[in-house]
Amino acid sequence: MEEMSLRGKVAIVAGDGRAWDRYIALALAEAGAEVVIAAPKPEEAAQEVRRLGGRAVAIPVDVTKSSEVEKMVARTIAEFSKVDILVNSADLEFAKPLLEVTEEEWHRVVEANLTSVFLCSKAVGKHMLEQKKGRIINIASGLAVRGLPNSTAYCAAKGGVLQFTKALALEWARENIRVNAIGPGWFSKGEVSDEEGQQDPLLRYLPMRRRGHPSELGVLVVYLASDASDYVSGQIFFVDGGVLAHA
């Protein structure tokens, strides 16, 4: 579908170096976008995009630091003159009983998972508002809507991403900026052998009896980044192998 094409679009993938940063960037590039990969160590992912024949710029950045985020966006604008798509993909997993969570750990989890979304959306949003067009896609979690013991900090942060998505979608709806989220379930970090997969104790709780692969987020990201999703905003799409069907 021509509406799914991202040719001529500029996308920022603002993450933390998890496996899905790379796969999201590759999917966007395959759809035709020019991609900025903003993460602590982005060069390897950028090289993979270039091997596909796409244009990629690697910008080392800590997405929890406002000064670094502002410089990253300024460099993107200097390089491409615009930003059409922002994917906030940072994800810091954290599990610990609440009474054992330190104040420092709480802030670290919230900053990585929620503050990063705020900082990047604010910095990029200024330019999208000037353009009167843009797409913001936040990587949340199934735990944004479902609790999990010993994961209070993570659930709270990802729940915040969901509410941030909804509120910002309403705030910028008339500016032609669409804001949506994706809620992954349990995913592998990349390639997993059949033997390793069969030994995974989590599988008995997953309806499809396997974890998701990071590449399975790519097509949905492309859809939400494209004109095909022009009437979609403020939504969270779960990619979890059916886990939330239990709820």
120-176: pLDDT as tens digits: 999 999 999 999 999 999 999 998 999 999 999 999 999 999 999 999 999 999 999
Provide the residue range defining the domain that includes 193: 2-246
Average pLDDT, the chain: 93
pTM (2 d.p.) = 0.93
**CATH number for the domain including 34?**
3.40.50.720
Mean pLDDT of 69-78: 97
**What's the confidence (pLDDT) of residue 2?**
83
- Over residues 221-242, the mean pLDDT reads 96
pLDDT of residue 237: 97
Span 51-68, average pLDDT: 96
Supply the pLDDT for residue 201: 77
Counted domains in the chain: 1
Q: Which residues are catalytic?
A: 154
Out of 35-39, 60-64, 192-196, 224-228, pick the least confident: 192-196
The answer, yes or no, to whether residue 3 has pLDDT greater than 90, is: no
pLDDT of residue 247: 61
DSSP code string of the chain = -GGG--TT-EEEEE--S-HHHHHHHHHHHHTT-EEEEEESS-HHHHHHHHHTT--EEEEE--TT-HHHHHHHHHHHHHHHS---EEEE---------GGG--HHHHHHHHIIIIIHHHHHHHHHHHHHHHHT-EEEEEE--GGGTS--TT-HHHHHHHHHHHHHHHHHHHHTGGGTEEEEEEEE-SB-SS---HHHHHT-GGGGGSTTSS-B-GGGGHHHHHHHHSGGGTT--S-EEEESTTGGGG-
